[in-house]
Amino acid sequence: MLVQQLFGTLDTLKREGVTILLVEQNVHLALALSDYAYVLADGHIALEGPAHEVDSMPEVRAAYLGL
């Protein structure tokens, strides 16, 4: 419940034009809220791009979303 409230607040801030740097382990919610995403692996940027593209990459979905 707390996570949903937090992401609701972040979404409100985003719609108001506030830029947010979000570091989050809940990949589903983070990508749904984000415009752009970076995927870190071993401390380095492994992938980056528009969040909807990163979310649809098979290697990301397998490694980070368990699909």
Q: If you write DSSP's letter for every residue of 7-62 in order, what string do you get? A: HHHHHHHHHTT-------S-HHHHHHH-SEEEEEETTEEEEEEEHHHHHH-HHHHH
Q: What is the pLDDT of residue 64?
A: 67
Q: What is the pLDDT of residue 46?
A: 86
Selection from 25, 29, 23, 31 nearest residue 51 by Cα: 31
Q: Is the pLDDT of residue 67 over 80?
A: no
The residue ranges of every structural domain in the chain are 23-67
**What are 3-41's pLDDT values in tens digits?**
899 999 999 999 999 999 999 888 888 999 999 999 888
Q: Is the pLDDT of residue 58 over 90?
A: no
